[in-house]
Amino acid sequence: MNLKDYIESGIIESYVMGLATESERAEFERLCAQYPELVAARRKFEESIEASAKEQALPTPPEVKVKIFEAIGKNAPSSLGSTSSNPPNIPSMQNSKNPVRGSGMLRFVAAAAIILLIGMVWLYFQAKQRNQDLVRENDGLKTQRDTAQNILNRIVQEQKQAIGDPNTTVVNMVGTKAAPRSSANVYWDSASSSVYLVVKNMPQLPNDQQYQLWALIDGKPNDLGVFDATNDKLILKMKDTKKAQAFAITIEKRGGSSSPTLEKMQSMGKATQTQ
């Protein structure tokens, strides 16, 4: 394939603007993983669209932002710390009309009462502010909890799907000489072609490198996608494959390579049917 012709075919623009068909999108994404020049050209067009859209920005209806933040269960951030916009409403005392006569004691009592009143008002707003802070904090924690719960549910769901299925082949990947301690499990569902990877022990890589999973089909390696050895994902969904006699993991440059660097092979496992 001539990459230059492909870049100039209008596919980038169709893809970015959401006008490409499903198969065009899939092909484009696959080629992007392979050719950094294609990604660079896509990025350039995206930047020009973004610049043009920002130049043409219209003023938005002011109530929309408030409604959005209400809908997602939080206060708009612009209202944070802006209590000064509604200052405490302290009624002014009208003493001058009827000047208090004579008694210094009465004046003292009046002054004390005013001071007391101001003090109470201050305490009241202080407490109110504190209360608002707590409510906001509580909301934030709730959202965080819900998000964490959702992520957990999704992981559990994926795992059930991948591991519980009778069509799933479990491939235990063991370390090679280059990396004797590396280990991971591949769950390959031969019915749906889905491939999941559970990282058990893969050392952290420098930022410019990633692990890449390969399916060996009739002796030829096929890319199943790249991954990082971080702990935050328990189970990774890799690219589908219909066939595979074995799986292998290599270390490649970030973004992956089109063919594996075999001397960097980290682990390997045979996809023999266990069921």
Under the rule (CB under 8 A), what is the footprint of other proteins? 8-11, 13-14, 16-19, 21, 29, 32-33, 42-43, 45-54, 56-61, 63-65, 67-69, 71-72, 74, 76-78, 140, 143-144, 147, 151
256/9 Cα distance (integer angstroms): 25
CB of 58 to other proteins, least distance (A): 5
Q: What is the dihedral of CA 153, 158, 160, 165, to 10 degrees?
A: 160
Location of structure tokens 């799907």: 161
CB of 187 to other proteins, least distance (A): 22
Query: Which CB sits closer to other proteins, 14 or 161?
Result: 14
Fill in the amino acid letter for 195.
Answer: V
β-sheet with 183-189: strand ranges across: 220-227, 209-217, 246-253, 265-270, 168-175, 183-189, 195-201, 236-238
36-55 vs 22-34: helix crossing angle, rounded to 10: 120
Query: Which CB sits closer to other proteins, 14 or 169?
Result: 14
CB of 224 to other proteins, least distance (A): 15
268/245 Cα distance (integer angstroms): 11
Query: Which CB sits closer to other proteins, 154 or 181?
Result: 154
Query: Which CB sits closer to other proteins, 129 or 137?
Result: 137
Query: Which CB sits closer to other proteins, 13 or 133?
Result: 13
